Amino acid sequence: MFDLHIIKKDQQQTSNWSGGTTTQIAIYPQESDYTARDFLWRLSTAIVELDESSFTKLHGFDRQLMVLDGALELVHKEQYSVILKQYEQDHFKGEWETVSLGKARDFNLMLKEGVKGRLEQMNTCAGQQFRIELKPSYQKQSFYACYCYKGQINLAARGQLAALQEGDLLLISYQDGLSVIAENNGNKECSLIAAFIEV
């Protein structure tokens, strides 16, 4: 099984939350409803506009949060606190009571318990080309999501080409090993956030 498609910036859904705004970039299964908590994984960005805000509790989910701009202190009550600067991340349980201090923009991966996933950030120089080797475990249903945070990038896999602008996401689902070729044809550095997920 192999499927590749682009979720353009203007196709993503933005809504308000207690601390600012959040944009759902992708959710799986696609017909899932975040408010119903019936998804296996979800990717989103959020803008934190208040100096102090409380996270919505998500029982039965694991969360990974990466700061894109600014800085946040995450206070997980009765657990630990951590200060995150640009591109630093924290992994925590959705049911924890979590308060954020500071104003920032962040990137979020939410995983139903039992689903595996990780986030990576990469900067690419103008003209740079590189290869991503995707190798799923035991032929599980796997996903590679590449979010173009800054700049632009071209990606190709199995003869299909995707051109991403700022705010666009490339989503590939696969079960066998896969090579993805990425090339920055722009004239400035590109910042990418990649999610690797296995359900």
CA proximity to 186, closest of 146, 128, 130: 128
Stretch 136-164: mean pLDDT: 93
Backbone torsion region of residue 184, taken as left when φ is above 0, otherwise alpha when ψ lies between -120 and 50, otherwise beta: beta
- The pLDDT, as a whole number, for residue 32 is 96
Q: Note whether residue 139 is domain-resident.
A: yes
Q: Note whether residue 2 is domain-resident.
A: no
**Does one domain contain both 35 and 125?**
no
> Of 92, 112, 132, which residue is a domain's last?
112
The count of structural domains within the chain is 2
> Of 112, 139, 164, which residue is a domain's last?
112
What span, in angstroms and rounded, lies between the C-alpha atoms of 67 and 89?
7
Give the CATH number, domain containing residue 172: 2.60.120.10
**Does one domain contain both 176 and 128?**
yes
Mean of per-residue pLDDT scores for the chain: 95
Tell me: the pLDDT tens digits for 26-42?
A: 999 999 999 999 999 99
Tell me: the pLDDT tens digits for 44-94?
A: 999 999 999 999 899 999 999 999 999 999 999 999 999 999 999 999 999
| Domain limits for position 88 | 10-112
- Cis peptide preceding 136, ω within 30 of 0: no
pTM > 0.85: yes
**Does one domain contain both 104 and 175?**
no
